[in-house]
Structure 1
Amino acid sequence: MAERIVPEISLKDFGNRREEITKQLLEAAEYAGFFTLVDHGISEEEIESQFAISKSYFGLPADVKGKIPHDTKTNNGWEYKAQLRASTGTCDQKESLWLRRNSQWPSDEDVPGFRETTESFMAKCAEISAQVLSCFAVALGLPEDHLRVANDPTQPDCLTQLRLIHYPASENAVGSWRAGSHTDIGCLTLLFQRDGEDGLEICPGRETHSSFAMGDTFTPLPAKTGPIVVNIGDMLMAWSDDRLKSNFHRVRAKDVGTSPARYSIAYFNQGRRDFVLQGPKKK
């Protein structure tokens, strides 16, 4: 199979280009499975600053990171090689810090500027998400603000989270799963990567034919600083009456040689507790 073309969509001049952007987003979500956003309003310098904060945090001793232990009830906090994947039967080879607006934060003493920088970054992710979700809402025949309001992170019942992720450098792990094949359970995911820290592979859901897409064709998506990789989650698939497909993806170690450390940042729009996930056709 030829390598998939992942559409690149510019959000430049959003107010005047809304109709054009909506068409591009819908086509990408329905047929390509994944797309990238450029001209989105977050500079490379701001992205690198957030990655620097993330790297500083993950560089702390385990007992310091453990001040914010992962809570299975809220899914907030630090976890280390603890996420078991049904697709592989093993835990992902990574550590991560899950954050919500009202969660516990690393102190400035441990990581100077952590909360200020990260809250600003999350606010910008929310603005971009609101633009994309408003386009999808109109395309699906819902009120323009329906998905935005249903994913409003300023509301106390919103489950939206930012996840800082670190895949440690690995030796003798050729072809192993740094993160096993899965779909995202939320609504819409924004993923930030860094130049040269590859490993993400995608398999659009419309082409999958087996559990967890095992045996299906995955395509590597090179990591670049700047563009945001976006995918639909299970929640938006439900809201769209299955029109928009939640897609399988994974992170794989290199086929040859040692896999260097990889850092990524994911912003998960995960909806509010008081909203029903039902599309116009009530499928």
Structure 2
Amino acid sequence: MAKPLVPTISLKDFENRRDIITKEIIDACEYAGFLTLVDHGITVDEINAQFAISKAFFDLPFDVKARIPHDVKTNNGWEYKSQLRPSTNMVDQKESFWMMKRSEWPSDNDVPNFRETTSKFISKCEGISDKVLSCLSIALGFEEDYFRKGMGIDEEDSLTQLRLIHYMASENAAGTWRAGPHTDIGCLTLLFQRDGEDGLEICPGRESSHSYGIGDTFTPLPAQTGPIVVNIGDMLMAWSDDRLKANFHRVRAKDVGKSPDRYSIAYFNTGRKGAIMQGPGKKNPPITCGQWFNEATERQFGAMSKRRQEVALKEDGKTATATVSAAA
């Protein structure tokens, strides 16, 4: 029987099963670049609570959300239909809110319990990420805490982020990309989805972090509440001398009928600004994670001006009286 493209890996009894788990993770990351985690320590109730917080934020009036506009320099804040995909030359049909531990967050007056619920959720994501990253550190020949130190989540120059995402419902989106084919900027992504809100598709086969060719075969990965989809990002692909694969993925609208609202939550482990990334075999020249992050963010968001976001809002019959950053 053939192995599944995206294996399901249990973190149960992690310390005693570390060697087995490490092998399972590295096998998945060397080809598909994707895996699904279960027995990870975040309950379905905790996941649903964070999704409720996310929906409450996106249900706010546009001018309230725009009080914290997206800034291309930090990649934090609220953006609306502002992510232009080079793969399609089209703008993703979604809005999102990016945040770091030390960035500005929505007020509890606007979204009750936002900070408490989200802070606890981030802490859980940190613990899971530490386990996966320790396995990858060892497999690549580094010290066990190598990537944990490289992420530096408690350091002032940490770039690790949580992103709340909302794909708006559409009556006429059949066959289009709610998010065009892309790879992630950072090192390791934890993605949370909800039952029935499908659309994620993945495409293995990328060989180099400097190559952006897209294959022909995308495989759907059904959405489930509970399991965490984990994938490698460009930064870690380069940092591993291309051993770990950051493969393309997209979010596709339904082929028939209405595409309903889709919510997802992504926790992006990203090397801190001052960390030097270079693989064990030194295949690629050294570069700071900060430089990598800035260049990648500019590619994804820099093409969208303040005026273009305002046009998108106007076309949707919305208004945002607050200032929207030039990056958004």
Same fold (TM over 0.5): yes
Kept in 1, the 8 Å contact 2:106–2:114? The answer is: yes
| Partner of residue 72, structure 1 | 72
**Alpha-carbon distance in 2 for matches of 1:122, 1:105:** 13
Kept in 1, the 8 Å contact 2:31–2:205? The answer is: no
Give every structure 1 segment of 4 or more consecutive aligned residues whose post-TM-superposition deviation is greater than 2 Å: 2-5, 205-208
| Partner of residue 138, structure 1 | 138
Q: State the AA in 1 paired with 2:222.
A: P
| Partner of residue 276, structure 1 | 276
**Alpha-carbon distance in 2 for matches of 1:187, 1:138:** 16
| Partner of residue 160, structure 1 | 160
CA shift for structure 1 position 172: 1.1
Equivalent runs, 1:55-204 vs 2, <5 Å: 55-204=55-204
Could you list the per-position Cα deviations for residues 136-189 of structure 1 after superposition, in whole angstroms to 9, with x for gaps in the alignment? 000000111100111121111110000000001011110111000001110000
Kept in 2, the 8 Å contact 1:212–1:248? The answer is: no
| Partner of residue 224, structure 1 | 224
**Alpha-carbon distance in 1 for matches of 2:282, 2:228:** 31
Kept in 2, the 8 Å contact 1:33–1:205? The answer is: no
Secondary structure of 2:250's counterpart equals strand
Secondary structure of 1:28's counterpart equals helix
CA shift for structure 1 position 33: 2.5
CA shift for structure 1 position 90: 1.2
Secondary structure of 1:110's counterpart equals coil
| Partner of residue 16, structure 1 | 16
**Alpha-carbon distance in 1 for matches of 2:277, 2:196:** 38
TM-score, scaled relative to structure 2: 0.83
How many residues align? The count is 280
CA shift for structure 1 position 5: 2.9
Q: Which runs of 5+ in 1 are unaligned?
A: none
**Is 1:43 aligned with 2:43?**
yes
Kept in 2, the 8 Å contact 1:7–1:32? The answer is: no
Q: State the AA in 2 paired with 1:87.
A: S
**Alpha-carbon distance in 1 for matches of 2:206, 2:96:** 29
Q: State the AA in 2 paired with 1:55.
A: K
| Partner of residue 309, structure 2 | none
CA shift for structure 1 position 244: 0.6
Q: Summarize the Cα distance change of 1:239–1:100 in structure 2 as closer, same or farther, 3 Å threshold.
A: same
Q: Summarize the Cα distance change of 1:233–1:205 in structure 2 as closer, same or farther, 3 Å threshold.
A: farther
Could you list the per-position Cα deviations for residues 210-251 of structure 1 after superposition, in whole angstroms to 9, with x for gaps in the alignment? 8451x5100010000000001101111111111111110000
Q: State the AA in 1 paired with 2:282.
A: K
**Alpha-carbon distance in 1 for matches of 2:249, 2:4:** 13
Identity over the aligned pairs, expressed in percent?
71
CA shift for structure 1 position 207: 7.7
Q: Which runs of 5+ in 2 are unaligned?
A: 284-328
Q: State the AA in 2 paired with 1:243.
A: R
**Alpha-carbon distance in 2 for matches of 1:212, 1:105:** 37
**Alpha-carbon distance in 1 for matches of 2:3, 2:139:** 28
**Alpha-carbon distance in 1 for matches of 2:22, 2:129:** 13
Q: State the AA in 1 paired with 2:68.
A: I
**Alpha-carbon distance in 2 for matches of 1:86, 1:5:** 26
CA shift for structure 1 position 3: 11
Secondary structure of 2:31's counterpart equals helix
